[in-house]
Each structure stands twice: as C-alpha cells, then as structure tokens.
C-alpha cells in the first residue's frame, strides 16, 4: 500500500511539473493568435474617427490607413487625415519593432515639417484622441510578457482572458487584460491599467468580418477613458488586401507626399 501511495505521489508531482503554467499558456494563446493573422501582406482601409468629450459632444475625422506586413519585424503603417480642414494633410508613419522602441513620425502640413515622436513619449495622446501613440503600433508578441488568467464567456462568446505586461520601459501602462475570442483568436476587449495600476481605459471591438477567407477585422473599436470620461470610436470601412504596396509607400518622404 505504501508503494502504491508513493507511486501515485510521484506521478502527481511529475504531471504537475510538466503541466503548462499560466505564463506558458498565455504566451501560447497569443502566439497562436499572431500565427493566424500572418500572411495578409498589405492592406488599405478608410476609417472614421469620432471624438466624444465628457459631455457627449462629437467631432469627426476621416482617415485613410495603409499597412504593410514586415517579415521578421513589426508592421509599417501610414495614416492620412482627409478631414476636417484643420487636420487635412496630417500624416502619421509608424514602424513597429518587436524588440526595440517603435519608430514613429508625424507630418504637420501647417508647419510643413516631419516631427519624430520621441521613444519616451509614446504614451501621449494621438491627435487629441483617447488612443496613445503606443496603442497604434502592431502588437508584436515580443513586446509583452503574458499570463493566462481564466476562461470566460463575454457577450455570449467563449474567451481566453490573458494579462500582458509591456516590456517597453516607457509604456504608459503597467498591465493590460485582454479577452480573446476562442473561435477566431482576435481581441474582444482590452482593459488598460496606468502606471499606478488604476483602470485607465477600456477598448471594445465589435462586428468582426472575415477577409480572404481567414483574416478577421472589426467594423468598430471604441476606446473609453474612465478617468477623463472621454471616448474615441473608430469605424472601419471595407478592407482591401494585397494591393501592391511596397516599402517605398512607407518611407519618410511618403509623409510629405500624402494627399
């Protein structure tokens, strides 16, 4: 009997030592999500940005967004503002990197100059919105460490709930909690906690659509700032993929050419 108990105890220890840790499971989930969203090459989309102040008053901006997938590094993106008149011609260029600070530039037509966004200022607001500059870069797996918290049903959908911690020392966030749809491996909700670990913002994704038979994109995203009571909604038009964009469409000169 003693031998049987010892054998069962050893088996239990062996099983638990080989079991996946919450950190390993969190990393495995986001790695799978990243793998599923690889191979789209490039994309173009029109979007509407709706800024709402604490009293619910709205202002709207129209933007064209181009993106280029980069093998072995983060994606490149170019955002061009078409309206209203006071921001028309403003362009934002972002080179996301997996293991070093992102490179980002902003072209201001009134000044006719390109302004580089400091690597220590990525937590600042983008064009008066509730999105920070660091929110607008592609979310490379290596930019964070992860921990699976639990499985949960959110709005009728089965999700993984994963906590992630920025590796970037100048991040405006201490941590984020992400709800990932188990079926399509895309985020449904993200909670952002500031450096004091207080809930700062919540981002929700709605009405995902499938493109090219495998890539999922939301029809809208809404970022609510719980501390300022302001919000920013992004409404996306139909995506176009594999349109022939190249690195030349994303060099710094492209900012000044943006029309």
Question: How large is the average pLDDT for residues 84-111?
Answer: 90
Q: Answer yes or no: is 146 within a domain.
A: yes
Q: Answer yes or no: is 13 within a domain.
A: no
Q: Answer yes or no: is 2 within a domain.
A: no
Mean pLDDT computed over every residue of the chain: 90
Residue 209's domain comprises 21-257
Q: Where are the beta strands (DSSP E) in the chain?
A: 42-52, 58-68, 76-83, 91-95, 103-108, 113-116, 144-154, 157-166, 173-181, 187-194, 199-211, 215-225, 231-236, 240-241
Asked if the model's pLDDT at residue 258 lies above 80, the reply is no
Asked if the model's pLDDT at residue 151 lies above 60, the reply is yes
Q: Answer yes or no: is 152 within a domain.
A: yes
Question: How large is the average pLDDT for residues 112-141?
Answer: 87
Query: Confidence band (pLDDT; 50, 70, 90) for 48?
Result: very high
Residue 207 sits in a domain of what CATH number?
2.50.20.10
Question: How large is the average pLDDT for residues 32-57?
Answer: 96
Q: Answer yes or no: is 225 within a domain.
A: yes
167-211 pLDDT per residue, tens: 988 899 999 999 999 999 999 999 999 999 999 999 999 999 999
Predicted pLDDT at 259:
62
Q: Answer yes or no: is 3 within a domain.
A: no
Q: Which residues pair with 60 in a beta bridge?
A: 50
Predicted pLDDT at 9:
45
> Count of domains in the chain?
1
pTM comes to 0.89
Q: Locate 220 and state its tokens.
A: 């809208």
Q: Answer yes or no: is 10 within a domain.
A: no
2-30 pLDDT per residue, tens: 444 444 444 444 444 447 999 999 999 99
Q: Answer yes or no: is 9 within a domain.
A: no
Cβ atoms 146, 31 nearer than 8 A = no
Cα within 13 Å of Cα(80), Cβ side: 17
Query: Confidence band (pLDDT; 50, 70, 90) for 250?
Result: very high
Residue of higher predicted confidence among 64 and 1: 64
């Amino acid at each position: 009997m003693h031998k049987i108990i010892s054998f069962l105890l050893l088996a239990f220890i062996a099983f638990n030592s080989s079991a996946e840790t919450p950190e390993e499971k969190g990393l495995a989930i986001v790695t799978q999500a990243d793998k599923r969203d690889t191979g789209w090459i490039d994309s173009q989309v029109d979007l509407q940005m709706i800024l709402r102040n604490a009293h619910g008053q709205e202002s709207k901006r129209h933007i064209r967004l181009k993106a280029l997938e980069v093998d072995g590094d983060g994606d490149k993106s170019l955002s061009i503002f078409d309206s209203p008149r006071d921001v028309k011609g403003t362009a934002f260029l972002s080179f996301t990197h997996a293991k070093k600070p992102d490179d980002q530039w902003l072209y201001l037509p009134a000044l006719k100059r390109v302004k580089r966004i400091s690597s220590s200022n990525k937590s600042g607001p983008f064009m008066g919105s509730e999105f920070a500059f660091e929110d607008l870069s592609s979310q490379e797996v290596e930019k964070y460490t992860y921990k699976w918290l639990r499985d949960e049903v959110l709005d009728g959908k089965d999700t993984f709930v994963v906590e992630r911690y920025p590796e970037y020392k100048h991040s405006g966030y201490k941590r984020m909690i992400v709800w990932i749809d188990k079926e399509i491996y895309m985020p449904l909700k993200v909670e952002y906690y500031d450096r004091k670990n207080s809930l700062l913002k919540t981002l929700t994704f709605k009405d995902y659509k499938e493109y090219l038979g495998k890539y999922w994109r939301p029809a809208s995203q809404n970022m609510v700032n719980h501390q300022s009571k302001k919000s920013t909604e992004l409404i996306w038009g139909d995506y176009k993929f594999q349109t022939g964009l190249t690195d030349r469409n994303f060099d710094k000169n492209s900012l000044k050419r943006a029309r």
